[in-house]
Amino acid sequence: MAVKLIMLVVFFGIMVGVGFYCRKHATDVNGFVLGGRAVGPWLTAFAYGTTYFSAVIFVGYAGQFGWKYGIASTWIGLGNAFIGSLLAWVVLGRRTRIMTQHLESATMPEFFGKRFQSNPLKIAASFIVFIFLIPYTASLYNGLSRIFSMAFPLDYSVCVIIMAVLTGVYVIAGGYMATAINDFIQGIIMVFGIVAIIWAVLHQNGGFTEAFSSLAKVTDPAVTDTPGIFASFFGADPINLLSVIILTSMGTWGLPQMVQKFYAIKSEKAIEKGTIISTIFALVVAGGCYFLGGFGRLYADKLDVVKGAPTGGFDTIIPKMMENLPVFLVGIMIILVLSASMSTLSGLVMASSSTLTIDFIKGNIVKNMSDKKQVLVIRVLIVVFILISAVIAIFQYKNNVTFIAQLMGVSWGALAGAFLAPFLYGLYSKRTTKLSVWVCFIFGTGIMVLNLLFKSHFPKFLASPINCGAFAMVAGLVIVPFLSAFNRKKVSADVEDMFKCYDEKVLVPATEALGDE
């Protein structure tokens, strides 16, 4: 217990210390929200990765999908690395940085408002962010509580309050730069932690070959009678596995807390390096998490399985795998889950508070807001958002309110379904219309809310929020260009001017481009 407590105290001390150290970067909106658009590749890549992978993935998704698909769940981690990280950086990174600086937009809703010259569109986007990021934020505490309750005799409410308060302190004190530096530290912990835990779990089961052989012998009539299915290449349900890959990989392209990382990156070289770093980070962390979860069925005898599923829920699988690890590794695991949770929480509350301040309050409720007043309001809203998410998490746990848990599952699909296509096409196509964006907003959020309320009336495949979210994203990629194609009007001069930012001439060293003869 003493070892675990000392590790926690040191970890928390570093996080808070970084927050106060970064106060000098958080004096205006540009500095507080975007770090002055001068954040290097390592900090940006780790901020992207740690915001991407939370305790929801490590404890919840890794356990759930590892149980359902076996070792094939590793494909989800590979999809996260190559689609959610590599391709996202290549397709969105540079254009997002150039266009958002040209439009002087600090948030995703502000980008929509200026790119499509519509204040109502900006307000609608900020409303969607507010509605669907809060429940997603609340879900972060659940995985943390599972690990803490295993390692410490602490009540769930105490775990939630400790994490909420400490995250709030360093985000409020240091803004984006504090979160970026802490994300870097937390990311290093996550990389080494997941490697150490995988090694320990495989060692417990006789090494990789023996563990894989044992997994191949597992059968579950509730899933399939095919022998060795959980050690197979594509698992028991490749179609639903593909939906999970699409949702968790493509979804990042439309999430404000993820895309805003590109707003703050420093330079062209930083984008190139960040792309490589982010991809490797995702390969290790996401690939490692889902690979680890794939061996969850080896612990079925300790999980009290009824009708093919653990009675305590899928969130109990990963903690059960950790129970007999050496005390030092348990301490690392606790800090790993804390790192994953706090980094994502900081990114979410920063996105929520900055969006509500810049896109909703400023100019609509308060006509004239100085830079200092905006920073103050953002800080106050960070407190409010963290408080709301903590209350929701505790309320759900104490009262077992399943509706809130379902809403959390819907939030990712709704945000990505609404924003992915408009943002992507808004960066690349001058002819993307305001009407197509409105329709995509309505369709993406609408289908997910209907799925939440009337799931039984949906076709079997779309009844799952994961499949429905994947469908919403793919449908948006069709809806926006299809509706925009009916616009026969000439592209306005304002839009032409926006896209000139991509054509501006810049000087580069001869090592990067040959000069004219």
Res 123: pLDDT: 93
Q: Which residues pair with 309 in a beta bridge?
A: 306
3-state class of 366 per DSSP?
strand
Whether the Cβ atoms of residue 159 and residue 148 lie closer than 8 Å to each other: yes
455-511 residue pLDDT tens: 888 998 888 888 898 899 999 999 999 999 987 778 888 899 999 988 887 776 766
The span from the CA of 74 to the CA of 426, in Å, is 33
343-386 residue pLDDT tens: 888 888 888 888 888 888 888 888 788 888 998 999 999 999 88
Q: Which residues pair with 224 in a beta bridge?
A: 220
105-130 residue pLDDT tens: 888 999 999 999 999 999 999 999 98
pLDDT at 399 over 60: yes
* Residue 512: band (very low, low, confident or very high) from pLDDT cuts 50, 70, 90: low
Residues comprising the chain, all counted: 517
Whether the Cβ atoms of residue 462 and residue 468 lie closer than 8 Å to each other: yes
Which of 409, 378, 422, 467 has the alpha carbon at shortest distance from 61? 409
pLDDT at 515 over 60: no
Name the residue ranges covered by the structural domains of the chain: 2-502
Residue carrying structure tokens 């992207």 = 48
3-state class of 52 per DSSP?
helix
The span from the CA of 347 to the CA of 52, in Å, is 9
The region, left, alpha or beta by phi > 0 then psi within -120 to 50, assigned to residue 104 is left
Tokens found for residue 42: 């390592």
Q: 2-502: which CATH architecture?
A: Up-down Bundle (1.20)
Q: Which residues pair with 306 in a beta bridge?
A: 309
Q: Which residues pair with 366 in a beta bridge?
A: 362
Which of 178, 220, 168, 170 has the alpha carbon at shortest distance from 36? 178
Res 517: pLDDT: 47
Range ranked top by mean pLDDT from 109-118, 228-237, 257-266, 292-301 = 109-118
Res 405: pLDDT: 53
Tokens found for residue 484: 């925009």
pLDDT at 181 over 70: yes
* Residue 180: band (very low, low, confident or very high) from pLDDT cuts 50, 70, 90: confident
The span from the CA of 359 to the CA of 349, in Å, is 15
φ, ψ (nearest 5 deg) of residue 309: -140, 150
Which of 199, 163, 156, 168 has the alpha carbon at shortest distance from 340? 163
Res 108: pLDDT: 92
Neighbours of 221 (CB within 10 A): 7
3-state class of 252 per DSSP?
helix
Residues 6+ apart with CB under 8 A from 144: 55, 59, 159, 160, 163, 337, 338, 341
307-338 residue pLDDT tens: 777 877 787 888 888 877 787 787 787 788 77
Whether the Cβ atoms of residue 290 and residue 70 lie closer than 8 Å to each other: no
Whether the Cβ atoms of residue 423 and residue 116 lie closer than 8 Å to each other: no
* Residue 424: band (very low, low, confident or very high) from pLDDT cuts 50, 70, 90: very high
Whether the Cβ atoms of residue 511 and residue 458 lie closer than 8 Å to each other: no
Q: Which residues pair with 39 in a beta bridge?
A: 265
φ, ψ (nearest 5 deg) of residue 362: -65, 125
Q: How much is the average pLDDT of 392-405?
A: 70
Percent of the chain's residues with pLDDT above 70: 93
More confidently predicted of 144 and 110:
110
pLDDT at 445 over 60: yes
Q: How much is the average pLDDT of 256-285?
A: 88
Which of 321, 322, 344, 406 has the alpha carbon at shortest distance from 186? 344
Range ranked top by mean pLDDT from 36-50, 316-330, 352-366, 435-449 = 435-449
Which of 98, 74, 27, 130 has the alpha carbon at shortest distance from 381? 130
pLDDT at 248 over 50: yes
Res 213: pLDDT: 92
What Cα–Cα distance (Å) separates residue 96 from each residue in 93, 256, 274, 372, 457? 5, 12, 14, 26, 39
74-95 residue pLDDT tens: 999 999 999 999 999 999 999 9
Res 186: pLDDT: 86
Res 264: pLDDT: 81
Signed CA dihedral, 314, 315, 321, 324: sign only? negative
Q: How much is the average pLDDT of 22-38?
A: 80
Q: Which residues pair with 265 in a beta bridge?
A: 39
The overall average pLDDT reported for the chain is 85
**Among the listed ranges 4-8, 148-152, 408-412, which one has the minimum average pLDDT value?**
148-152
Res 57: pLDDT: 80
pLDDT at 388 over 90: no
φ, ψ (nearest 5 deg) of residue 509: -65, 155
Whether the Cβ atoms of residue 196 and residue 184 lie closer than 8 Å to each other: no
Residues 6+ apart with CB under 8 A from 162: none
